[in-house]
């Protein structure tokens, strides 16, 4: 009986270099939601969280988190006028 020695894989061997010089643009995170715009839509225009989720393409939980962030900032958001801030505070309390 003939003995066969098995030294390594029986498949094609790849040579070096194994790299490509192609650059692909990627984005690691979603674009940010403008909290001032969201606050106006929610509290001045009366949009529901479900409507906001559809509009921004986010989950209901994400919209809830954004609303909490707006409240934590006491509605003091860049991009809102003093009048808009007062309208939002009034709408939130009522």
Q: Which residue has the higher pLDDT, 8 or 91?
A: 91
Residue 18, domain member (yes or no): no
Residue 45, domain member (yes or no): yes
Q: Dig out the tokens for 5 from the structure.
A: 């020695």
| CA–CA dist 35, 90 (Å, integer) | 17
37-92 pLDDT, tens per residue?
Answer: 999 999 999 999 999 999 999 999 999 999 999 999 999 999 999 999 999 999 99
Q: pTM to 2 decimals?
A: 0.67
The range of the structural domain enclosing residue 84 comes to: 35-93
Residue 9, domain member (yes or no): no
Tell me the backbone φ, ψ of residue 11, rounded to 5 degrees: -145, 165
């Amino acid at each position: 009986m003939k003995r066969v020695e098995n030294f390594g894989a029986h498949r094609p061997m790849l040579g070096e270099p194994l790299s490509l010089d192609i650059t692909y643009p990627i984005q690691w995170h979603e674009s940010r939601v403008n909290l001032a715009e969201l606050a106006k839509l929610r509290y001045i225009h009366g949009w529901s969280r479900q409507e906001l989720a559809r509009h921004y393409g986010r989950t209901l939980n994400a919209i809830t988190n954004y609303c909490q962030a707006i409240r934590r900032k006491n509605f003091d958001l860049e991009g809102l006028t003093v009048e808009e801030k007062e309208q939002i505070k009034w709408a939130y309390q009522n």
